[in-house]
Amino acid sequence: MNRAKLDYALAVMPLGRIEVRYEVLSPMCPEEPNSKLQQLFERFNRRYWRGRLPHYTVIVSDKYVGARCEKRDRIIYINPSIPPRSVPQFLLHEMAHAAVKGYAHGKLWRDEMERLIRLGAPLKGELAAYSPEAVPQTLASILPEFFDAAFLSDQTWREVWRHKAYGYGFTDRTGRVENQYAAQVRHKARREWMRGRRLRRSYGGFAP
């Protein structure tokens, strides 16, 4: 008979002066907050964000592959199949999502990961796996760039679209849309750009 919880799988990972111990639950367990991972979240928050991240509940669940940050509910999901020694990297990855505006692995998120690395976080391999060169250029990875451009730069929508769309092959040199799919991309990209610009205006016209 499968037990709801493994007896114990303890891992120790030195992070500067922090020695992390956490409990890993089996995939058979129900979704539930994990006190060990919650403590790890709080330690990372103090160390890398000076305690400024909002409170997130860390839940062990096989609801998602790997890990996931749900900003609306302020929950971070950690899949129980993650190897114990990889849990800190997965948790920091999701905390970086919680720390920035926008979604996916755009420039804002990568900048935050680079900041964490400079502070000593063990994330170099994690960031490399999500570099623009390593990540296939799917629509899900492209759209956040329009959000970031609107939020971080003073470029107009026309300037952003002309530059990025030509680079990704959605338009010709004159800016003309190549096909119907490219037209759909333009509509979605425009929506992301407007979201980023609205957020920028909420900060008084300046990115924080």
Q: pLDDT digits over 174-188, tens only?
A: 677 767 888 888 999
Regions of the chain where pLDDT drops below 70: 1-32, 102-104, 131-137, 167-169, 172-174, 178, 205-208
Per-residue model confidence (pLDDT) at position 64: 77
- Total residues found in the chain within this entry: 208
At residue 28, the pLDDT reads 39
CATH architecture of 11-129: 2-Layer Sandwich (3.30)
Q: Give counts: helices (H), strands (E), the chain.
A: 7, 6
Check the CA dihedral 99-101-104-105 and report its sign.
negative
* Per-residue pLDDT at 132: 60
Domain ranges of the chain: 11-129, 139-202
Neighbours of 108 (CB within 10 A): 23
The confidence score (pLDDT) of residue 70 equals 86
Which residues, other chains included, contact 167 with Cβ-Cβ below 8 Å and sequence gap of 6+?
none
Q: Taking the complete model, does pTM exceed 0.75, yes or no?
A: no
Predicted confidence at residue 88, as pLDDT, reads 93
* Radius of gyration in angstroms for the set of CA atoms belonging to the chain, rounded to a whole number: 20
Structure confidence at residue 108 (pLDDT): 81
Pick from 115, 27, 96: which is nearest to 65 by CA?
27
Q: Give the C-alpha separation, 87 to 66, whole Å.
A: 9
Strand (E) or helix (H) holding 118: helix 107-118
pLDDT of residue 14: 40
The pLDDT value given to residue 23: 39
Burial call 79-91: b when 16+ CB within 10 Å, e when fewer: bbebebebbbbbb
How many Å apart are CA 52 and CA 57, to the nearest integer? 15
